[in-house]
Amino acid sequence: MELKLFKKDDMYMISAKGSMDLYSSIPLKELVMKILGKTTDQLIINLAEVDSVDSGGIGALINMCSTAQKLNADFVITNVQDFVKQSIASMKVSEYIPLADTVSEAVAFLNKKK
């Protein structure tokens, strides 16, 4: 998985590209842990270029959301492909993963949380 980090004001965004499974999500989880709580308390993960996600990848997203909550950080995932939304829905974990359709919606969501 390829990751790119962007910063705007106090908000960070990580854009991911490629496949997301338990193994390939490790660098993403490590980057999220490094950023949250130390650098910012507002983070967007952009999955627009993620072409596959398995149950291990969904588990990693849940883990990141849980960590964000423990750190009192605001966290949202955006540009989620339909197949990922279906996986999240089929696993009945959508209430644990905050989703936004676009980056603009994600930014608006985080701005409301300030």
Entry pTM: 0.90
Q: pLDDT-based confidence at 18, cuts 50/70/90?
A: very high
Answer yes or no: CATH 3.40.190.10 is held by domain 2-103. no
Question: Phi and psi for 30 in degrees, rounded to 5?
Answer: -65, -40
Question: Could you give the CA distance from residue 32 to residue 50 in angstroms, rounded to a whole number?
Answer: 17
Q: How far apart are CA 11 and CA 67, in angstroms?
A: 17
List the beta strands (DSSP E) in the chain: 2-8, 11-20, 42-53, 74-78, 99-100
Q: What is the pLDDT of residues 39-58, one digit of tens each?
A: 778 999 999 999 888 888 98
Each residue's pLDDT tens digit, 28-39: 999 999 888 777
Domain boundaries, the chain: 2-103
User: At residue 112, what are phi and psi to the nearest 5 degrees?
Assistant: -65, -30
